[in-house]
């Protein structure tokens, strides 16, 4: 099956082929022929299954090769990052047409977005709030919308956008073609479809792993210690075959600190969380998608809807809130027929939460194995070369704080954990203020051995009394202090 077989115009097919996209995904095979006939659609499929081209290609084609200027199609998504991603895909598909795409999201200046609208953009991709704002300001006319798409509709409702979505339906003509895509189909979505769609056809991509983790994702669950966790992560990031990696954190503060720690250890990491400016978030996501950064440290909310096919590893730095979030996080890898690896760290205080996730998903791991950065099974499970450490460059000496225990080379060690050999992490300025260090002993330190890393004392012979007196006289007469 090809896109031409589905009825897509040759110029669009060539634009896709130029980017190596030649074969449609199942959701596209079902959605495209129906959408080309003007049929309203409810499409049920997870993120990463190809929904964007499923609705985007028919939309572009239906507008015509030289569409009239002005907003004719509206694509509504829950997050800024997803809006940018969807718009980029649509721009790719319109490479051989004069069709214009405008991205309308909050966190950016109005002027540039208004300029795109006034330039005649036919396809508007955006978040509900900003679209409504521009409509109220009479800068965006929605009265001629012929096509309306709600993407990730369940996420939109989870984020409280239902009133805004209903407002957008009211602002657009009743005769529009409406396509609604959602990973799940809760009652509110069904009610929305009944109220605003005209006899929609329900299509669904059958997923044998529905409600379970994907079979092509290898999962490893470790009970890690907070002071050793960054060292474990550093070693995992040097595993053979490791490509793009997403590390999920529970809080914005934690995501920022983990990203900073990994950068300090020499890794090519960037953060993505709500405390960052919109411009910074966009740059971070663009760098990750392009490969300039191969590690993205993100919070759950910031990463909603992110669709990057070539993620090889997912690391849950903290346990997700529930089984739904676990599936969402781990589902960032193992896409488009690829295999993936998901590693989850379970802290002591999260054991109860983990047991709930384990039971709900029938993972068969009620008691995660205790794991240190030196544990043999860590190296074996993840194909990490023997002797690998969690740092790929020396710390900038200007960033190291002085310590009484630091030796001549500016390094201090921390003791091993739980009696394991060499398992302690390289310190960490946010974990109790211990020094980040290298060159620790393979054995846990005893109290008596602590001074072995300290700089040796240099004993000086006492100066004669006369010399000391002459020195004092020179000091008093020299500076006038």
pLDDT tens-place string over residues 445-456: 333 333 333 333
The pLDDT of residue 160 is 87
Distance CA 330, CA 319 (A): 11
| Confidence band of 207 (pLDDT split at 50, 70, 90) | low
The pLDDT of residue 305 is 60
What percentage of residues in the chain have a pLDDT greater than 90? 57
Residue of 27 and 413 predicted with greater confidence: 27
* Cα angle, residue 153 at apex, residues 147 and 159 outer, rounded to 5°: 130
Q: pLDDT of 329-348, one tens digit each?
A: 888 888 767 889 999 999 98
Mean pLDDT value of segment 84-91: 94
The pLDDT of residue 304 is 67
| Confidence band of 219 (pLDDT split at 50, 70, 90) | very high
Mean pLDDT value of segment 405-414: 37
Reported pTM: 0.61
Residue of 187 and 206 predicted with greater confidence: 187
| Confidence band of 122 (pLDDT split at 50, 70, 90) | very high
Residue of 184 and 261 predicted with greater confidence: 261
What percentage of residues in the chain have a pLDDT greater than 70? 78
Mean pLDDT value of segment 294-304: 84
The pLDDT of residue 393 is 63
Residue of 37 and 420 predicted with greater confidence: 37
Is residue 293 predicted with pLDDT exceeding 70?
yes
Minimum mean pLDDT range among 34-43, 51-60, 184-193, 352-361: 184-193
Q: What is the mean pLDDT of the chain?
A: 81
Mean pLDDT value of segment 415-424: 35
Is residue 21 predicted with pLDDT exceeding 70?
yes
The pLDDT of residue 277 is 81
The pLDDT of residue 62 is 96
The answer to whether residues 281 and 330 touch, using CB atoms and an 8 Å cutoff, is no
Is residue 376 predicted with pLDDT exceeding 90?
yes
Mean pLDDT value of segment 208-218: 63
Residue of 305 and 270 predicted with greater confidence: 270
The pLDDT of residue 183 is 80
CATH numbers and ranges of domains, the chain: 10-204 (3.40.50.300), 217-382 (3.40.50.300)
The pLDDT of residue 186 is 82
Mean pLDDT value of segment 240-254: 94
| Confidence band of 289 (pLDDT split at 50, 70, 90) | confident
Q: Which two tokens stand for residue 307?
A: 């669709």
């Amino acid at each position: 099956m090809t896109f031409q077989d589905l009825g897509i115009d040759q110029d669009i097919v060539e634009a896709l082929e130029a980017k190596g996209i030649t074969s449609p995904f199942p959701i596209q095979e079902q959605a495209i022929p129906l959408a080309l006939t003007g049929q309203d659609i409810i499409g049920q499929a997870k993120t990463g299954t190809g929904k964007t081209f499923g609705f985007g290609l028919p939309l572009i084609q239906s507008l015509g090769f030289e569409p009239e200027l002005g907003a004719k199609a509206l694509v509504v998504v829950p997050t800024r990052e997803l809006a940018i991603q969807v718009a980029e895909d649509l721009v790719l598909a319109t490479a051989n047409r004069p069709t214009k795409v405008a991205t309308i999201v909050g966190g950016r200046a109005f002027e540039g977005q208004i300029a795109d609208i006034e330039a005649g953009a036919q396809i508007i991709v955006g978040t509900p709030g900003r679209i409504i704002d521009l409509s109220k300001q009479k800068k965006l006319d929605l009265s001629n919308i012929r096509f309306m798409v709600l993407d990730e509709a369940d996420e939109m409702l989870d984020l409280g956008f239902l009133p805004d979505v209903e407002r957008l339906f009211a602002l657009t003509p009743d005769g529009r073609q409406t396509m609604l895509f959602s990973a799940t189909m809760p009652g509110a979505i069904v009610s929305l479809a009944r109220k605003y769609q005209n006899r929609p056809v329900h299509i669904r991509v059958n997923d044998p792993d529905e409600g379970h983790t994907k079979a092509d994702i290898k999962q490893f669950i470790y009970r890690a210690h907070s002071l050793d966790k960054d060292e474990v992560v550093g070693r995992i990031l040097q595993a053979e075959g490791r490509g793009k990696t997403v590390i999920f954190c529970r809080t914005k503060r934690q995501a920022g600190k983990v990203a900073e720690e990994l950068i300090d250890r020499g890794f090519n990491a960037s953060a993505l969380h709500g405390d960052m400016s919109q411009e910074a978030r966009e740059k971070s996501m663009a760098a990750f998608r392009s490969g300039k950064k191969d590690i993205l440290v993100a919070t759950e909310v910031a990463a909603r809807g992110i669709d990057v096919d070539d993620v090889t590893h997912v690391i849950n730095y903290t346990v997700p809130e529930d089984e739904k979030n676990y599936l969402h996080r781990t589902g960032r890898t193992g896409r488009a027929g690829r295999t993936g690896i998901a590693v989850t760290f379970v802290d002591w205080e999260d054991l109860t939460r983990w047991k709930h996730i384990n039971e709900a998903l029938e993972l068969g791991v009620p008691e995660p194995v205790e794991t240190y950065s030196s544990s043999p099974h860590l190296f074996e499970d993840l194909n990490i070369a023997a002797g690998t450490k969690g740092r790929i460059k020396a710390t900038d000496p200007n960033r190291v704080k002085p310590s009484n225990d630091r030796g001549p080379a500016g390094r201090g060690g921390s003791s091993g954990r739980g009696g394991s050999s060499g398992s302690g992490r390289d310190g960490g300025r946010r974990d109790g203020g211990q020094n980040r260090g290298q060159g620790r002993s393979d054995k846990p330190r005893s109290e008596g051995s602590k001074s072995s890393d300290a700089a040796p004392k240099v004993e000086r012979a006492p100066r004669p009394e006369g010399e000391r007196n002459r020195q004092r006289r020179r000091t008093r007469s020299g500076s006038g202090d």
